[in-house]
Amino acid sequence: MGETPMPGGWSLSMTWVPMCGQKWPRTAVSFVGMWLVMMIAMMLPSLAPVLWRYHEAVGLTDGRGETDGRRVAPLTALVSVGYFFVWTVAGVAVFALGAATMALALHFAMLARAIPFAAGVAVLVAGVVQFSAWKARYLACCRCISMNGRALPAHARAAWLHGLRLGVHCCYCCAGLTAVLLIEGIMDLYTMAFVTAAITAERLAPAGERVARAIGVVVVMMGVTMLARAFAFG
C-alpha cells in the first residue's frame, strides 16, 4: 500500500485508507484479516506452551487414566479461538482509531505535522511501560497460568472463557509493543520480527521481567531517536 508524504520526510501509511473504488467496509475487513494473520504468526510461539498447559490440566481421561487427546483437542482449539477472537476485536478498534486519525491528518495540516512528535512520544511511553508494575503483573499472568493443582472444567463454555481471559491478559501485556509495531510500520518485516522476538523472549525466557526491561531500554532509545528526528525536521 502507498504512503502519504508528511513534513520532515515522514509518511503516513495508507493502510487505513480505501484504495480507488474500494469502500470502507471492505478496507476494514482487509485490514482485520491481515491483522489476524499477523497476530497468529506473532503470538503462536508464546501461546503454544500455554495451550499445552491447558491440554495437560483440562482433566479428560480415557479408560486407562491417560489424557484423552481426541476429546481434549477440540477444547484446546476453542481456547485458541477465544484468544484470537480478543485480538480480532482489538484489530477492529485499531482500524477505527487509525482510520479516524488518517482522515483528520489529511484534512488538518497542523495535525499531520504533529503526528511525528506524537509517534515518538507514544514509542517512548511504550518503552517506559516495560519497566512498570502494570507490565510485570500482566506479564506474570501470561507466563504462568496457575491451575491450583486441580483439573480445569472440561466443557466448551469454560474453554471459551479461558481463551478470552488469555487474550485479554495478552492484549494488556503486549499493548506497548503492539503500539511500536503500528507506529513503526505494520507492514515492516523487521519491526514485526523485532516485536515477535521481544514478546516470545519476555514470555518464555527464565528471567522474563529482566528481558522485558531490556526490551524497554531498546524501545525507549527508539522513542528518543524518533523525537530527535521530529524536532530536527519539524
Q: How many domains is the chain built from?
A: 1
Which residue has 523472549 as its cell numbers? 201
Judge whether 12 lies within some domain. no
Q: How far is the C-alpha of 126 from the C-alpha of 136, rounded, in Å?
A: 14
Judge whether 41 lies within some domain. yes
Judge whether 8 lies within some domain. no
The model carries a pTM of 0.84
E-strand ranges in the chain read 3-5, 11-13
What grid cell was written down for 185? Answer: 510500520
pLDDT at 62: 44
Residues of the chain whose pLDDT is less than 50?
A: 1-12, 61-65, 146-149
What grid cell was written down for 157? Answer: 463454555
* CA–centroid distance for 208 within its chain: 17
pLDDT at 67: 52
pLDDT at 147: 43
pLDDT at 16: 59
Q: Which domain holds residue 196?
A: 23-233
